[in-house]
Structure 1
Amino acid sequence: MSGEPEPTDTDRSPLVEARDLTFGYAAVPVVEDVNLRVERGEYVGIVGPNGSGKSTLLRLLLGLHEPDSGTAELLGHPARAFAERERVGYVAQDVTEDEKRMPITVSEVVLMGRFPHAGFGRVTEDDRKRTREALRTVGIEHLADRKITALSGGQRQRTYIARALAGEAELLVLDEPTVGVDAESVDAFFELLDGLVADGMTVLLVEHDIGAVIEHASRVICLNREVYFDGDPVAFAESDALDRAYGTNVRREEGGIVT
Structure 2
Amino acid sequence: MRYLVFDSGPIISLALNNLLWVLNELKKHYKGKFIIPPEVKREVVEIPLQIRRYKFEAFQVLELLSEGVLSLFETENLVSESEEALELANTIYYTKGHPIKILQRGETQALILAKQLRADAIVVDERTTRMLVEQPEGLKHVLSSKLHSRVELNKNNLARFNELAGGIRVIRSVELVTVAYELGILDRYLQGVDEPLLKNPRREMLEASLWGLKLKGATVSQKEIEQILKLERV
TM over 0.5: no
Structure (1/2) with the larger helix percentage: 2
TM-score (norm 2): 0.34
Greater share of strand residues, 1 or 2?
A: 1
